[in-house]
């Protein structure tokens, strides 16, 4: 089993372009798996992990409800925002500047074949990274993602997650709010959850400086520990 993961930082990229980029890598892995099955071969399947920052965009998962987008097409344009219906799980979310979006494109048969474990390890990756910055993240029962003050009546969501998996190959992933304009979340019902409070690392830390490159390195380290993997 190949536990090496090729890391690629895409910088700032339009959502559709990044989606196509993901899809090409996803298709590459799936094709190798099909050949292995057809030819009874054991070609190694690669794994990828992408970081990207998107311009303002709202995405609606395949189980989402369009009514959770609270603005119309003209208002989207006025906010320089795009909208896409996409093939991940989950409802609606926002991506934009000041967010670290992570897209692991893994052949889970290199690791384990359990999609629930996969989601929990993604959450663990973010939770352990937040600890480095003195922020206590946790899981909110029955809801994916990473939350703060989960025992309080009003927990705050700092990281959204939504994935797709087929033939045990993953795409899409997580979006960690670092120094994002939280006002953009007012235009949706985030993840389809009414009264869902969204926060960011910057809001939690106040005036403390956040080194985005160090944060990315910390996420990669936490990911490699959780998934018992190695970045190349």
Residues tagged active-site: 191
Whole-angstrom distance, CA of residue 1 vs CA of residue 24:
22
69 SS3 class: strand
Position of tokens 């956040």? 210
Give which of 128, 142, 139 is closest to 226, Cα–Cα: 128
Whole-angstrom distance, CA of residue 190 vs CA of residue 143:
12
Supply φ then ψ for residue 41, to 5 degrees. -105, 175
104: buried, middle or exposed (CB in 10 Å: 19+, 13-18, 0-12)?
buried
Query: Distance from CA of residue 75 to its chain's centroid?
Result: 26
133: buried, middle or exposed (CB in 10 Å: 19+, 13-18, 0-12)?
middle
DSSP designation for 113: S
Whole-angstrom distance, CA of residue 5 vs CA of residue 229:
7
């Amino acid at each position: 089993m190949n536990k090496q993961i090729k890391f690629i930082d895409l910088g700032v990229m339009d959502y559709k372009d990044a989606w196509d980029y993901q899809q090409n890598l996803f298709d590459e892995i799936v094709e190798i798996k099909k050949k292995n099955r057809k030819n009874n071969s054991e070609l190694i399947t690669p794994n990828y992990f992408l970081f990207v920052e998107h311009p303002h965009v709202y995405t609606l998962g395949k189980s989402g409800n369009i009514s959770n987008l609270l603005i119309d097409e003209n208002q989207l344009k006025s906010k320089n925002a795009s909208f896409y219906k996409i093939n991940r799980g989950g409802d609606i979310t926002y991506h934009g500047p000041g967010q670290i979006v992570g897209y692991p494109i893994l052949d889970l048969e290199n690791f384990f074949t359990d999609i629930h474990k996969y989601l929990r390890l993604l959450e663990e990756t973010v939770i352990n990274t937040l600890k480095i910055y003195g922020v206590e993240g946790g899981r909110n029962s029955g809801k994916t993602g990473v939350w703060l003050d989960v025992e309080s009546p009003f927990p705050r969501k700092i990281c959204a997650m939504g994935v797709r998996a087929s033939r045990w190959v993953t795409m899409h992933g997580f979006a960690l709010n670092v120094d994002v304009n939280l006002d953009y979340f007012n235009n949706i019902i985030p993840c389809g959850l009414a009264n869902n409070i969204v926060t960011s690392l910057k809001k939690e830390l106040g005036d403390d400086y956040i080194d985005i490159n160090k944060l990315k390195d910390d996420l990669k380290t936490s990911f490699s520990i959780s998934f018992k993997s190695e970045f190349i």
